């Protein structure tokens, strides 16, 4: 059994209360780790350590190349343990070993590498164009770190989410307190261990305090924190916004989604059909941008639905640690019950269950939380299964008559995280992309979000952007400096204003 303690001020420590919690693998429900549980007192301690490192430490004042080279060195250390980290991530989250090995961990690592390369190229001092004041000045902006940034991350793909938060926040000179989800904190704790062993980060620069709602709320409310980066559900995001208002913190929110996926009538179905399953079934649908609403033209509906069902029934649901599994389990019993509830709701609302819809106990490890990949046809976009985030392997197929109808229904959602359009005619697809109200649109693709490109939500899917220059800028604030060039006191026009 693995044991982990909180990482505060450069040391691994027990929680003040002495409380711990067990981490269970979705694979078979067995305990795989014992983790110290952060409470309010621990979070205050972590914030104080981060505050000290932000206000007095060398980290924020280090040169850009120096900090970037430390981030790059950490990337190399994470790469050296990539295989063990992938294994642990699969056990902790239930994502298949293929997902964690080919996507989750290497992709998360890419954000460290890319950030280390991009950050030194950011101009931290830039001239401000002259304005028409009567006397001249030398004017420029300085980009500066916020100070202490708190990160709160969800359980679904924690290695990716933690890298998305940590790499840009640290590179830009902030100190951080990361509160990973209590459901899946293990690779965050391993990242802390690797960072601690490396000696790259002065004490207090990186702090990790796993736990649930109490440490999360404390982190958002603590006056020692300057900014909060939150990734999680829209409902919790709204709460974070309220809590942050007490100290008027800057926040970025990366929230839920119900992404539309539109097949146009000239789509290459050999690509679009498997593409639509990739869109919805990655990590058994437990992905924020999952393409859960598939819009199909009436003329192709029967063919598309038949091929979707056939391909789905050919997928292998099984042990996430088995390389043969296409789909793994859901996170836990609660998630399994949520998905079951939505399947019942879909039936009650009059949608047609085309395949799946059941828990699976045969041919999978005993005690795990397995659910069949599920497709509903004849879905009306107003149904709850088309409007609410299920966070499971459930696809809602919606028939449309005209492209205008498809776009209207795609936009009829409180969410606006991502979406896709499939067509052989790229101009036609781009015209549809322009009319969709989401932060990301793929044409003939899904899920690819590079470290170079902005990611974030429209509407209730979020505030702010991650990645690339956009993500770095969120972690920096702009200071304006005006150096007066007037040669003498007489040239100061404000002497006349007050008659001084």
Name the residues that contact ligand NAD, by CB under 6 A: 152-156, 161, 179, 181, 212-213, 216-217, 220, 231-233, 236, 239-240, 254-257, 288, 389, 391, 417, 457, 462
Q: Roughly how many angstroms between the first and final C-alpha of the chain, as a whole number?
A: 75
Cβ distance to ligand NAD smaller for residue 291 or 457: 457
Q: How near is the Cβ of 366 to ligand NAD at its closest, in Å?
A: 25
Q: Which residues contact 107 (CB under 8 A, 6 or more apart)?
A: 160
Cβ distance to ligand NAD smaller for residue 91 or 252: 252
Question: CB–CB of 123/64 below 8 Å?
Answer: no
Q: Whole-angstrom Cα distance, residue 233 to residue 389?
A: 9
Is residue 161 classed as helix, strand or coil in its secondary structure? helix
Q: What is the DSSP letter of 193?
A: H
Q: Which residues contact 155 (CB under 8 A, 6 or more apart)?
A: 93, 181, 183, 184, 331
Is residue 221 classed as helix, strand or coil in its secondary structure? helix
Cβ distance to ligand NAD smaller for residue 147 or 464: 464
Q: How near is the Cβ of 359 to ligand NAD at its closest, in Å?
A: 20
State the DSSP string of 93-104.
H---HHHIIIII
Q: Whole-angstrom Cα distance, residue 461 to residue 464?
A: 10
Q: How near is the Cβ of 298 to ligand NAD at its closest, in Å?
A: 30
Question: CB–CB of 135/485 below 8 Å?
Answer: yes
Residue 254 among the catalytic residues: yes
Q: Whole-angstrom Cα distance, residue 182 to residue 483?
A: 50
Q: How near is the Cβ of 342 to ligand NAD at its closest, in Å?
A: 14
Cβ distance to ligand NAD smaller for residue 296 or 436: 436
State the DSSP string of 162-176.
HHHHHHHHHHTT-EE
Q: How near is the Cβ of 450 to ligand NAD at its closest, in Å?
A: 14
**CA distance to 21, 176, 252, per residue, from 152 (Å):** 18, 11, 11
Cβ distance to ligand NAD smaller for residue 70 or 179: 179
Q: Single out the residue of 180, 179, 177, 188 nearest to residue 224, CA to CA.
A: 177
Q: Rounded to a whole number, what is the largest CA-CA distance in the chain?
A: 89
Question: CB–CB of 198/78 below 8 Å?
Answer: no
Helices marked H in 246-401: 269-281, 301-313, 333-349, 384-387
Cβ distance to ligand NAD smaller for residue 152 or 264: 152
Among all residues, whose Cβ is closest to ligand NAD? 216
Considering the candidates 110, 183, 288, 372, report the single residue annotated as catalytic: 288
Cβ distance to ligand NAD smaller for residue 45 or 399: 45
**How many CB atoms within 10 Å of residue 384?**
14
Question: CB–CB of 228/220 below 8 Å?
Answer: yes
Residue 378 among the catalytic residues: no
Cβ distance to ligand NAD smaller for residue 207 or 236: 236
Q: Whole-angstrom Cα distance, residue 308 to residue 305?
A: 5
Question: CB–CB of 92/110 below 8 Å?
Answer: no
Q: Whole-angstrom Cα distance, residue 321 to residue 30?
A: 14
Q: How near is the Cβ of 309 to ligand NAD at its closest, in Å?
A: 26
Considering the candidates 254, 372, 389, 466, report the single residue annotated as catalytic: 254
Q: How near is the Cβ of 463 to ligand NAD at its closest, in Å?
A: 11
Cβ distance to ligand NAD smaller for residue 116 or 417: 417
Residues with active-site annotation: 254, 288
């Amino acid at each position: 059994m693995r044991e982990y303690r909180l990482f505060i001020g450069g040391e691994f420590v027990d929680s003040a209360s002495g409380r711990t919690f067990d981490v269970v693998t979705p694979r078979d429900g067995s305990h795989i780790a014992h983790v110290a549980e952060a409470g309010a007192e621990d979070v205050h301690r972590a914030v104080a350590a981060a505050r000290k490192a932000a206000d007095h430490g060398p980290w924020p004042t280090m040169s850009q190349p120096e900090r970037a080279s430390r981030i790059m060195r950490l990337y190399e250390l994470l790469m050296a343990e990539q295989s063990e980290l992938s294994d642990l991530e699969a056990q902790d989250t239930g994502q298949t070993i293929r997902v964690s090995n080919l996507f989750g961990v290497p992709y998360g690592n890419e954000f460290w590498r890319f950030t280390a390369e991009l950050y030194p190229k950011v101009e931290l001092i830039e001239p401000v164009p002259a304005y028409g004041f009567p006397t001249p000045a030398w004017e420029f902006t300085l980009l500066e770190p916020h100070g202490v940034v708190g990160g709160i991350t969800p359980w679904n793909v924690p290695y990716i989410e933690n890298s998305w938060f940590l790499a840009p926040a640290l590179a830009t000179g902030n100190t951080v307190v990361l509160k990973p989800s209590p459901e899946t904190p293990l690779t965050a704790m391993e990242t802390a261990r690797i960072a601690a062993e490396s000696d790259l980060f002065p004490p207090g620069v990186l702090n990790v305090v796993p736990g649930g709602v109490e440490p999360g709320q404390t982190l958002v409310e603590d006056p020692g924190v300057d900014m909060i980066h939150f990734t999680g559900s829209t409902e919790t995001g709204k709460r974070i916004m309220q809590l942050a208002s007490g100290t008027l913190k800057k926040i970025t929110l990366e929230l839920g989604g119900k992404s539309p996926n539109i097949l146009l009538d000239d789509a290459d179905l050999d690509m679009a059909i498997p593409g639509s399953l990739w869109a919805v079934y990655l990590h058994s649908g437990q992905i924020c941008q999952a393409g859960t609403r598939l819009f199909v033209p009436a003329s192709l509906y029967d063919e598309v639905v038949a091929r979707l069902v056939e391909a789905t029934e050919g997928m292998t649901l099984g042990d996430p640690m088995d390389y043969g599994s296409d789909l793994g389990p859901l996170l836990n019993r609660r998630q399994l019950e949520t998905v079951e509830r939505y399947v019942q709701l879909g039936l009650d609302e009059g949608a047609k269950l085309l395949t799946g819809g059941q828990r699976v106990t045969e041919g999978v490890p005993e005690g795990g939380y397995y659910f069949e990949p599920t497709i509903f046809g004849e879905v009306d976009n107003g149904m709850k299964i088309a409007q609410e985030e299920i966070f499971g392997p459930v696809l809602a197929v919606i028939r449309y008559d005209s492209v205008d109808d498809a776009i209207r229904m795609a936009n009829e959602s409180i969410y606006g995280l991502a979406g896709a359009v499939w067509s052989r005619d790229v101009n036609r697809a781009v015209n549809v992309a322009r009319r969709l109200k989401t932060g990301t649109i793929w044409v003939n693709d899904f899920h690819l979000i590079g470290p170079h490109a902005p990611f974030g939500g429209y509407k209730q899917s979020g505030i702010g952007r991650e990645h690339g220059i956009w993500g770095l800028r969120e972690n920096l604030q702009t200071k304006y400096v005006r150096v007066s060039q007037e040669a003498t006191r007489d040239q100061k026009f404000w002497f006349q204003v007050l008659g001084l």
